[in-house]
Amino acid sequence: MLLLHKFGDKKMKKNILLFLLFSAYLWSNLVSIESPDVVDDSEIAASIKPMHSLVCAITKGITNPKLLVDGNFSPHHFQITPSQAKAIKKAKVIIWIGPAYAKPLYNHLQNVDASILVLQNCPSIKIKPLRNGAFWDKKSCCSHYDHDVNQMNMDGHIWLDPEIMLQVVDVVLEHLIHNYPNHKEKLKANAANYRVRLKKLQSDLKLKMLPYKGETYIIQHDGNQYFDEAFGTRTIATISIDPSIPPNAGHMLKLRQAVLNKEIHPKCLFSERQMDGALAKNYADSLKIPFGALDYLGTDIPSGEFAYEQIMHAYVDSFIAGITGKA
């Protein structure tokens, strides 16, 4: 009888344990079914670090969005990796600037089921056309635009103007509320907090840049017109209008003559972190002007909700260092 009693106790304990495990399993499934507020980290993706930063700030406490394009390579021409393709396939919401920036994503986003926000198609966000030509004299510096305007020849560097990023917040917020109405209040509160941060960033950067208003410079390719508009600086020429095409020898000769004849007075020639800096440095040396480097995407800055502010502070600091010959 004692043996049977002990055997019965063991069997009962085993049954109780199985019952508890099964109950826990059922409960976890019921919670996931009955809690539409749960947003998996793979559900929301953003194309590049500045936009990903903004989306992270708005979805703080709700989810951790995926960053699609990262690393030290040009977003104008790169190969989609298997991990990027997987992230695109799993995402339910994708936020990107559009074919004006990170063009290689374009084909991969044509046949996905995700709710895609294309910022360059939003009427409230004023996307500028690319400027045609790669050299602008004093009178026509900012008037040479490509008149054959389509999605591919727009300038997508919109995050270089914090004022535009304030407009992006509104558009992204509306899109996220449409897709996640249960999180409406949290999203709105996060967006309000982020707007305050962006306005402070805008004020801080304008104060930093005030002594350099009106300064002219050369840049490796024409991606700085939003920055110029925000802070009053002026791109006078580029080495190349298209970052994927090598500079034209005739253009470089014209540029060299203009600098040496003092027709234009660039304070610096800037390279870009994602392009051939050595080539730009050689041109700067041949033109006998200071050389600096700019990083649109904050290659060494960790992704996350504070990345955009850090990218812009670093960008302005690098710009000032180049203009003042301290790079």
Mean per-residue pLDDT, 182-194: 98
Do the Cβ atoms of 271 and 220 come closer than 8 Å?
Answer: yes
The structure's pTM equals 0.84
121 pLDDT tier (thresholds 50, 70, 90): very high
Do the Cβ atoms of 104 and 84 come closer than 8 Å?
Answer: no
- Least confident stretch, 71-80, 115-124, 181-190, 234-243: 71-80
Do the Cβ atoms of 58 and 10 come closer than 8 Å?
Answer: no
pLDDT at 276: 74
Beta bridge partners of 118: 96
What is the Cα Rg of the chain in Å?
26
What proportion of the chain, given as a percentage, has pLDDT over 90? Answer: 57
User: At a CB cut-off of 8 Å and minimum separation 6, what does 144 contact?
Assistant: 131, 132, 133, 136
Does the pLDDT of residue 78 top 50, yes or no? yes
**Token pair of 20, please?**
């508890």
Distance CA 59, CA 261 (A): 54
**Token pair of 66, please?**
């995926």
The matching CATH number, chosen from 3.40.50.1980, 3.40.50.300, 1.10.287.130, 3.30.565.10, for 207-323 is 3.40.50.1980
Dihedral of CA atoms 195, 175, 63, 25 in degrees, nearest 10, equals 150
207-323 and 44-122+155-206 share a CATH fold: yes
* pLDDT, the chain, mean: 84
Give the start-to-end residue ranges of the domains of the chain. 44-122+155-206, 207-323
Question: What single-letter amino acid sits at 316?
Answer: V
Burial class (CB within 10 angstroms; exposed 0-12, middle 13-18, buried 19+) of 277: middle
pLDDT at 2: 44
Cα angle: 294, vertex 203, 315; to 5 degrees: 5
Asked: is 44-122+155-206 a CATH 3.20.20.70 domain? The reply is no
Do the Cβ atoms of 71 and 99 come closer than 8 Å?
Answer: no
Dihedral of CA atoms 293, 299, 305, 306 in degrees, nearest 10, equals -40
User: At a CB cut-off of 8 Å and minimum separation 6, what does 271 contact?
Assistant: 220, 277, 279, 280, 281, 291, 292, 293, 294
**Token pair of 118, please?**
């294309």
Mean per-residue pLDDT, 113-134: 89
